[in-house]
Amino acid sequence: MKYKNYIITMGALSLFLSCATNPFTGKKTMAFVPNSQLFPTSFAQYDEFLNEHKVVKGTKDADLVNRVGQKIAAAADRWLDANGYQGYLKDYKWEYKLVDDKTVNAWCMPGGKIVVYTGILPIAKDEAGLAAIMGHEVSHALANHGQQRMSAGMVQQLGAVAGNVVIKDPATLSIFNQAYGVGSELGGMLPFSRSHETEADEIGLYLMAIAGYEPMEAANLWRRMSAQSGGQAPPQFLSTHPANETRIKNIEAHAAQAKEEARKFGVTSFKK
């Protein structure tokens, strides 16, 4: 029993001492691994990835990815400065690379390291569509989603360790491990991941609007994504991402608010 109490106490103390408030969401978030440790590792992994893949350089598409990424990040900087968070991005090292790969994807690493695959460009269709993608990816970095996922994984592991310390009967322990693995994934990690995707969608709308892009183009992007996938997707509760229909409805519900926020920065026209 003393081991159980010790684990619970240490877990609760870790959660209390390792939380940070994110300015973009206003939420307390887990931050077991500080950015001072996380970012250098992320930057090194990003460089390693680029060395092992074909980076597209000097083309119209590569220049567009870089230009749109810079505009989105500049919009984030403007918003932060206006809301009393000067210097929040001082440790971020923004980089936007186009990689020759047919995969329909883009991703972001902690600290602002972003990759866009050439395979997603036809779905982006135009500059505003690319801005929706870049806004989403930049938002993952701004909301420290990588840090949160790592922290959540540590909590998940702590729960498994606690169960294995407390439960002595081998048969009961086997049942616990199977149930905990499925339950913590379906009831914890997957919903956590989907919430991050929703946050990145919403923050991205504000950033692309402040950068001068029509936020409703993000909904059009996801309509094209849905058409491209042919409706082939796992049920939402089994996925790391919300269903396309859910994302479209959420974007439509927040687009007008994003434009209102952009007007505070003198943005009155939005590129489609």
Please compute the mean of the pLDDT values over residues 20-42 and round it to a whole number.
76
User: In the prediction, which pLDDT does 140 show?
Assistant: 87
% of the chain at pLDDT higher than 90: 54
% of the chain at pLDDT higher than 70: 69
User: In the prediction, which pLDDT does 91 show?
Assistant: 92
pTM for this structure?
Answer: 0.77
Q: Using one digit for the tens of pLDDT, what is the confidence trace for 156-200?
A: 566 555 556 667 666 665 654 565 444 545 444 555 567 788 899
Domain range annotation of the chain:
35-263
- In the beta sheet, which residues pair with residue 56? 98
Contacts of 224 (CB under 8 A, 6+ apart): 123, 125, 129
User: In the prediction, which pLDDT does 172 show?
Assistant: 65
pLDDT exceeds 70 at position 1: no
Residues labelled as active-site residues: 137
Q: Using one digit for the tens of pLDDT, what is the confidence trace for 215-261?
A: 999 999 999 988 987 666 655 444 556 788 999 999 999 999 999 99
Contacts of 160 (CB under 8 A, 6+ apart): 177, 180, 181, 184
How many other CB atoms are found less than 10 A from the CB of residue 1? Answer: 6
